[in-house]
Structure 1
Amino acid sequence: MSSDPWGRVDETGTVYVRTADGEKVVGSWQAGSPDEALAYFERKYEGLVVEIGLLERRVKTTDLSAKDAQTAVDHLREQVDAHHAVGDLQALRDRLDKLVGTVEARREERKVQKAKQSDEARQAKENLVAEAEELARSEQWRSAGERLRALVDTWKGLPRLDRKSDDELWHRFSHARSAFSKRRKAHFASLDAQREEARKTKERLVSEAESLSGSTDWGGTAARYRELMGEWKAAGRAQREHEDDLWNRFRGAQDVFFAARGAVFAERDAEQTENLKLKEELAAEAERLLPVTDLKSARAAFRSLNERWEAIGHVPRDARPKVEGRMHAVERALQDSEEAEWRRTNPEARARAEGLTGQLQAAVDKLGKQIETARAAGNNARADKLQKELDGRQALLDQALKGLQEFGG
C-alpha cells in the first residue's frame, strides 16, 4: 500500500483521495506500482489546476462572455466533483467558487456597460434624427444631401436598440430623408422647367440680337442691346448644354455691332477732342466773370459764351462732366448773385423782416419787465422761468436783426 497527504492506494489497487467528507474512491490501478498510481492521479489533479488557472486568466484578461465562462466553470466543477484526481480538491472548489463570483461581477459590469452603450446609442440616434429632420427643411441641396448620406453611414455604425425604439427612430430618420428627397426632386423638376423656359426666352433674345448686329442707329441700338442684356439676366440660366452656345451667339452679335460703332466713334473722337479744347477755353473765359461785380454785364457775357458753347458740338464722354461742371458752376454763381440782389431789393420781404423784428423786440422788452417785477416780489422761481423764455426770444431776435441787415437796414 502507498499513500501521500491527499490520497492512498490499498492492497487491491484501489486509489482514494482524502476530502473533508472522508475518503473518496478515485479509481482502480492494476498496471503498475501504487506509487505510479498516485503519480498518475496527481498529474490529473495538476491538469485541473492548469485548466482552472487558464480559465481565471481568460476571465480577467479577455472578453470571454459570462455565459461561456460559466459553462467552463461548470465543466471543471464536474471534473473536480467526480474525484478522479488526487490533491486538494476543496482548494479547487474554492477557486471555482471565487471564479463564479468574478464572472458574476463581470456580468454585472457588462450589463451596466451595455445599458450605458444603449443609452449612448439611443442619444446618438435621436441626435441623428433631429439633424435629419432639420436637414429635411434645407434648400442647400448638395451639402444637405451629402450630410444625410453621411448620417446614414453613422447610423449603420451604431448598435441596435430594442426593436420598438429602433424602429420608431428609424422611421423618423427615414421619413426625414424621404421628405428631403421629395422636395429636392420637386425643386429640380421645377428648375428644369425654368431652364427650358429660359432657353426659349434666350433663343428669342439671340435672334433679335443677331438681327440688330448690322444696325447703324448707334444710340437706339446700343440702348436696345442694354435692354436685351437686362432681359437675358432676368431670364435665368438655360440648360448647361445650351447656355454657352446661346451666350456666344448673343455676345457675338453685340460684338459685331459695337465693333462697327467703335470704328465710327473713333473718327468722331478726333473732332470731339478739338471741341473739348474750345469748350475748355470758353469755361476759362466764363470763370473770369467771377466774382460778380456787375450782374447785368456778367449775365450778358455768359449768355454770349453759352451760345458759342452750344455751337461747338460734342466732346469726349469721359471729359464732359468736368468741363460742363465748370460752366454750371459759373451759372450757379450768377444765379446766387441774382437771388441775393432780389432779396436785398424786395420790399415785401423787408417789411416782413421788420415786422418780425419789431414783434420779437416787443416780446423781449415785455419779458424783461416781467422778470424785474418777479424779482422785486421775491418770486425767483418765476423770474428764472421767464429768463429762460427771454433767452430764447433774444436768440430769435438776434437772428432776425442779422437777416434785416441783409436788406441794408
Structure 2
Amino acid sequence: MSSDPWGRVDEQGNVYVRTAEGERLVGSWQAGSPEEALAYFERKYQGLEAEIGLLEHRVRKTDLAAKEAHTALEHLRAQVVEAHAVGDLDALAKRLDTLNGEIDSRQNERKAARAKAQEETRAAKEALVAEAEQLAESQQWREAGDRLRALVDSWKAMPRLDRKSDDELWHRFSHARSVFSKHRKAHFAALDSERDQARAVKEKLVAEAEALSDSTDWGATAAEYRDLMTQWKAAGRAQRDAEEELWARFRGAQDVFFQARSAAFSERDAEQGENQKAKEALLVEAEALLPISDLKAAKAALREINERWEAIGHVPRDARPKLDGRLNTVERAIREAEDAEWQRTNPEAKARAAGMTGLLQAAVDKLQGDLDKARAAGNASKVAKLESELAGRKALLDQAQKSLEEFSG
C-alpha cells in the first residue's frame, strides 16, 4: 500500500482521496506501482487546478460576463465534488467559493458603472442641448452652423437614455436648430439688397483697375492696386454671376500690370537662375553620398555642402521647394542611418536580448535533464510531454540567439 498527504492506494489497487469529510474512492490501478497510480491521479488534480486558475484569470483580467462566469464556476464545482483525482480538493473548493464572491462583486461594480455611464450620458446630452440653445441666437452663420452639425454627430454617437428623457432632450435640441435656421434665412434675405450696391461699387473699381494696367510706375501702381483690393474686399459680395465676371476683369487688369513688372525683373531672375545651377551641382555631390557606407565621412561631407549651399544665395521661388526637398532627402537618410546605428549598438536592448537568451538556455538545459531522467525511468508519457516542451523552448532559444547576433553584426 502507498499513500501521500492527500491520498492512498490499498493492496487491491483501489485509489482513495482524503477530504475534510473523509476518504473517497476515486479509481483503481492495476497497471503499475502504487506510486505511479498516485502520480496519475495527482496529474488529474493538477489539470483541474489549472482549469480553476484559468477561470480565475478570466474573471480577474478580462471582461467575462457574470452569467458565463457563474456557469463555468458551477461546472468546475461539480468537477471538484466528483473529481477522480488526488490532491487538496477542499482547497480547490475554497478557491471556487472565493471566486464566486469576486464574480458577484464585479457584477455589482459593472451595474454601478452602467448606471454611472447613463448619468454621464445624460449630463453630456444636457450640455450639448444647452450649447445648441446658445448657438440658436448666434449670428456667426458658418461657424455656428458647422458647430451645430458637429453637435448632431456627437448626439448620434452617444448612447440612448430612457425613451422619455431622450425624446425631451432631442425636442429641445431640434428646436434650437430650427430657430438658428430661421434666423440665418432671414439674414441672407437681407443680403440681397446689399449685393446690388456691392455690384455698383465693384464695377467702378474694375474701371479704375483697367485704367492702371498699362502703367510702368511699378511701386506706386502696385500700391494703388493694393488699395483697390482693399476697397474690393470692403464692398461686400455681389450676386454670384456678376461677382465672378467682375472679379475676372479686375484680376485680369492686375495680371497685365504685374506680368509687365515681372518682365522688367528678368535680369534679377537670371542671376537667381545661375544660383539655381550652382545649387543643383551641389545636390549632385550630396546625392552621391547615398547609399551611406561611411556614416562619419558622410556627415562631414554634408556639413561642408551645407556651408557652400548657404553661401550661394537665393534661387527662383518656384525652384526652391524642389531643391530644398532633394537636399532634405539626403539629410533625412543620414539621420535615419544615425538612428539605425544607435539601435544596432543600444546596450540596453542588447542586455535584454542576452538576458532572454540566458533564461531560455537555462530552461532548455533543465528540460533536457528532466527528459534524460524520464527516459532512464522508462516513463513514456512523460518523455513525450517533455520532448514536446523541449522542442518549443529550443525554437524560442534559436530565435533569441538570432536576435542577439544582430547586435554583434
TM-score band w.r.t. shorter chain? 0.3 to 0.5
Q: TM-score, normalised by structure 1?
A: 0.46
Larger Rg: 1
Q: TM-score, normalised by structure 2?
A: 0.46
